[in-house]
Structure 1
């Protein structure tokens, strides 16, 4: 596994969502609250496009 995005949604309406983003290159970030979770999702996808560990396999194929 090179990277992972884990999302945790609250079972209650109005509850706090959480997320964590991990990459084997050493990147690890967490977020709490809906707005920060959405920002972390966007940052995770942007990192996947730039990380040498992620792009290495795509360039070889």
Structure 2
């Protein structure tokens, strides 16, 4: 799951990425959130808990 939020105008945006495998990462600011979003996408493609069923299909 990836959650990105900006609490208001001129506030620092935050993001939280977590998975049932134990992954739990946070990012603050536009550049860190962009990197976390890319990393989150890669994780979804590689996580053993998320890809286990796809291998059988």
TM range (shorter): 0.7 to 0.9
Number of residue pairs aligned between Structure 1 and Structure 2: 57
In structure 1, the residue matched to 2:20 is: 24
The runs of 5 or more residues in structure 1 that have no matched partner are none
In structure 2, the residue matched to 1:45 is: 41
Deviations along 1:1-28, one digit per CA (max 9) or x if unpaired, are: xxx101112421x431100000111111
Q: Give every structure 1 segment of 4 or more consecutive aligned residues whose post-TM-superposition deviation is greater than 4 Å.
A: none
Q: Could you tell me the TM-score, scaled by structure 1's length?
A: 0.83
How much is the aligned-residue C-alpha RMSD, in angstroms? 1.2
Q: Could you tell me the TM-score, scaled by structure 2's length?
A: 0.88
